[in-house]
Amino acid sequence: MLPTRFSVLALAVLAACATKEARRADTASPAAATLAGTAAPDPAAVRQTIEAANSRFATAFLTGDTATLLATYASDAIVLPPNAKINAGRDAIAKEMAGMLSAMKLTAFALHTQDVITTGDYAIETGSYDMTIQPKTGKPVQDVGKYLTVWKKQSDGSYKLIRDMFSSDAPAK
């Protein structure tokens, strides 16, 4: 039994030493750590890029511009909406958005970035939103909530959403 445990432990140590991540200096905080040889992104510049993308996203939602909405997402993005199934890939996201936009119209929508953590080609954003939804029938509904997104830097230097998760602050019904 001991030789087997030792072999597994030796393999794990060997694998860890063979990764770039294992050669990372431990002096950086986890949120600012980067892989060896990769320049650290400028957190303020990344935040500014994300906030600009969020502004375009909000405007696109208000105008029903699905092309711009979808362009915010990477082709393999995953959206995790509340009280609904996962939307994996741009086609599933497009279908969900089309259904949502056909059932209602946003008359006000704002995204508020609270925090952006950058590491390598990734940025993790925490924020809040507020919006007014006008259903096809009935009175407008005000909603306030929060979101967590993961952005990935693309080869052209832009950032696209690869994960998007959000939920309302309203109590469940």
Enumerate the domain spans of the chain: 38-168
Higher pLDDT, 109 or 13: 109
Q: Give one DSSP letter per residue of 127-165, joined into a string.
A: EEEEEEEEESSS--EEEEEEEEEEEEE-TTS-EEEEEEE
pLDDT digits (tens, 9 = 90+) for 148-159: 999 999 999 999
Supply the pLDDT for residue 38. Answer: 58
Pick 38-168's CATH classification: 3.50.50.60, 3.10.450.50, 3.20.20.10, 3.40.50.2300. 3.10.450.50
Contact call for residues 124 and 141 (beta carbons, < 8 A): no
Mean pLDDT across the stretch 33-53? 79
pLDDT over 70 for what percent of the chain?
77
Supply the pLDDT for residue 41. Answer: 84
Whole-angstrom distance, CA of residue 89 vs CA of residue 96: 11
Is a pLDDT exceeding 80 seen at residue 102?
A: yes
Is a pLDDT exceeding 90 seen at residue 29?
A: no
Is a pLDDT exceeding 80 seen at residue 19?
A: no
Is a pLDDT exceeding 50 seen at residue 14?
A: no
Go through 149-170 and write b for each residue having 16 or more CB atoms within 10 A of its CB, e for each that does not.
Answer: bbbbbeeeeebbbbbbebeeee
pLDDT digits (tens, 9 = 90+) for 114-141: 999 999 999 999 999 999 999 989 999 9
Contact call for residues 110 and 58 (beta carbons, < 8 A): yes
Mean pLDDT across the stretch 48-62? 96
